[in-house]
Chains A and B, each alone.
Chain A
Amino acid sequence: GESVGLHLPTLSVQEGDNSIINCAYSNSASDYFIWYKQESGKGPQFIIDIRSNMDKRQGQRVTVLLNKTVKHLSLQIAATQPGDSAVYFCAENTPGGSYIPTFGRGTSLIVHP
């Protein structure tokens, strides 16, 4: 039978290319967003966050863009390296102070040397 949920969206890139991973979030009231990286056999690792009063935030080799009009987030990774290969999740938080993120489904990034 079909294994629902096993087939993650996958992005394959060459080492050195820039990667863009997209995420659609569900709640228009969400005001805080986080990108996580999860390598095989490990827990998710915080990459970068952004609040809804911003539309862009930059980190080291990563940039997050937020488009509230269409409820869309993207994560841009510059000069992608083999060590960037992982599953990437976006997560949204709604106001209330509990900071309990709701995770999206995830995108598998494969970087070819």
Chain B
Amino acid sequence: DTGVSQDPRHKITKRGQNVTFRCDPISEHNRLYWYRQTLGQGPEFLTYFQNEAQLEKSRLLSDRFSAERPKGSFSTLEIQRTEQGDSAMYLCASSLRGDYPNAAHEQYFGPGTRLTVT
């Protein structure tokens, strides 16, 4: 257990439905990341927050995806009008920002939410 929790662990939904996932990072970590991982591939970056500010979004993050971190603590990732291609593991990670390039930058990953769109 890394200290990062995600809920739910599994979600099955029908195409066209909206889903929301939650991530609770390690409490003192100011950075929070969302990734998507499909079978046999490494995680792909979606977006990240520093405190409550969303600082970067990947081109993978279509308009149907939105993420929030309202108080700089937990975060939610919502997918609207789900498509079968959204089926994947959604991973959250948190870290403590260090001074680039000297600080070590260890991201702690949660167990993921596995989404299946039928």
Most buried by A among B41, B56, B93: B41
Q: What's the count of A-B pairs with C-beta under 8 Å?
A: 71
A-chain residues with CB within 8 Å of residue B95 when the two chains form the complex:
99
Contact: A99 with B40, CB < 8 Å?
no
At the interface, is chain B mostly helix, strand, loop or mixed? Answer: loop
Question: What is the size, in residues, of chain B's interface with A at 8 Å between Cβ atoms?
Answer: 30
Contact between B41 and A5, CB atoms less than 8 A apart: yes
Number of A interface residues in the complex (CB < 8 A): 29
Contacting residues, chain B, for A105 (C-beta < 8 A):
40-42
- Find A46's partner among B4, B31, B44, B106 (CB 8 Å cutoff): B106
* Cα–Cα distance between A6 and B39 once the two chains are bound (Å): 6
Query: Which chain A residue has the least Cβ–Cβ distance from B9?
Result: A41
For A96, give the chain B residue with the smallest CB separation: B100
Residues of B within 8 A of A (CB): 2, 4, 31, 33, 38-45, 48, 55-56, 91, 93, 95, 97, 100-101, 104-112
Name A residues whose Cβ lies closer than 8 Å to a Cβ of B. 5-8, 31-32, 34, 41-46, 49, 51, 89, 91, 93, 95, 97-106
